[in-house]
Chains A and B, each alone.
Chain A
Amino acid sequence: MKRIAAIVPAYNEETAISAVVNDINSLAISNQLLIDVIVVNDCSKDSTAEIISKLNCIALNLPINLGIGGAVQTGFRYAFENGYDYAVQIDGDGQHPASEIPKIVNLAVTGGFDVVIGSRFISNQGFQSSAMRRIGINYFKWLNRMLVGTVINDSTSGFRLINRKVLESVVEYYPDEYPEPEAIIIYSLNNFKIGEVSVTMKERQGGVSSIGTFASIYYMFKVTLAIIFTFTKIKFKK
């Protein structure tokens, strides 16, 4: 049976984190999946560290704040070093319902995908994010298509699964801030097979978004630059 690492990055998530971890654990039991929950506490200022130490999970406490990308990469590192077959990323704020995990895992196993992305925009059900955010998502969709030709409907979704082959590559390099759209470019250029599956997401159950209003302009600019640089870097290597 495949061993799955559920990586939950958490920054100041004391209100939502225990529900997230418990949901994944009970799903693992009811679906007979071998899932270990790995919570990466990104140097939270609240009681997240204390809460996760009492939960049934592997707690990785970062000594300094690395940002979402660095936190997730910590989980990837652990999963790779400890021989997991798959790693699935699940946000610590409760946006990603554990009940959708089997769908994602199934597509990876049956479809032979290296990367499976849980997308909000295939069946357009559940929480759809704000209008501004959707403009950004469409922009990245367009940018992806222009550069690598792959169409990913929800390139900012953090609800995604990668296999061991991809784990090896992301331990080497994974973007720091706003990593999701850039990671897709890296996966495509490395010829990993990317699949998308429709999932229903919820509105965040606690905490604040990692992207504020003003930050969104910076986000678009920074990610565009990062994508273009990563694109040229990998293209020229080949």
Chain B
Amino acid sequence: MAKIQVIAIAVSLLFLLYIVRLIIKGKLREEYSIVWIVCTIVFIVFSFWRNGLEILARTVGVYQAPNLVFTGALFAVFIYLLHLSIVVSKLHQQNKQLAQEIAVLKNEFTKKSINQQAINQ
């Protein structure tokens, strides 16, 4: 096994371990971890099976295997970023609605407690 293979596998495994740790600690939700776990597994597979990349590139008609990696990775990153933008927009909307409800409820609460004070006196 070549030196670079060992390094790549080690780094991938460390990364996978970190993802798992984040999930256990509750810092990363499972649905957002799937993409990272899949990426790491793909990485590990091609670290073991070095010819695989070459074969895959040939089948889709890419002459230089690294180009396939760059194109694929960049595309995946763009899609994932778009996904995150959608998630943020949804959170923004929900956050706004919550804040508005809180403001109205706070007002209601203060009114009620003032009335209560008036009754008590």
Contacts and interface: CB of A to CB of B under 8 A. Distances in A.
Interface residues of A, number: 16
Instruction: Decide if the interface of chain B is mainly helix, strand, loop or mixed.
Output: helix
A204 interface: no
Interface stretch (A74-82, A140-148, A221-229): A74-82
A63 B104 contact: no
A64 interface: yes
A81 B101 CA distance: 11
8 contacts: A60-B103, A60-B104, A61-B103, A61-B107, A62-B102, A63-B103, A74-B99, A78-B104
A60 B99 CA distance: 11
A62 B99 contact: yes
B51 interface: no
Contacts of A63: 99, 102-103
A66 B93 CA distance: 10
Contacts, number: 38
Contacts of A60: 103-104, 106-107
Given A60-B107, A74-B104, 11 more contacts: A40-B103, A59-B107, A63-B99, A63-B102, A66-B96, A70-B99, A73-B96, A73-B100, A74-B100, A77-B104, A81-B104
Interface string A70-108: 100110011001000000000000000000000000000
B64 interface: no
B54 to A, nearest CB: 45
Contacts of A61: 103, 106-107
A58 interface: yes
B43 to A, nearest CB: 38
Interface string B41-73: 000000000000000000000000000000000
A176 interface: yes
B96 to A, nearest CB: 5
Contacts of A81: 104
A28 B107 CA distance: 22
Q: B interface, how many residues as a size bin? A: 10 to 19
A79 to B, nearest CB: 11
A75 B5 CA distance: 62
Interface of B: 95-96, 99-100, 102-104, 106-107, 110
Instruction: Decide if the interface of chain A is mainly helix, strand, loop or mixed.
Output: mixed
A176 B93 CA distance: 10
Nearest to B105: A60
A81 B96 CA distance: 17
A63 B96 CA distance: 10
**A-B pairs with lowest CB-CB distance, top 8:** A60-B103, A74-B100, A62-B103, A64-B99, A70-B96, A63-B102, A62-B99, A74-B103
Nearest to A76: B100
Contacts of B96: 66, 70, 73, 176
A10 to B, nearest CB: 12
Contacts of B110: 59
B100 A58 contact: no
Contacts of A59: 107, 110
Contacts of A73: 96, 100
Nearest to A78: B104
A90 B102 CA distance: 22
Nearest to A176: B96
Contacts of B103: 40, 60-63, 74
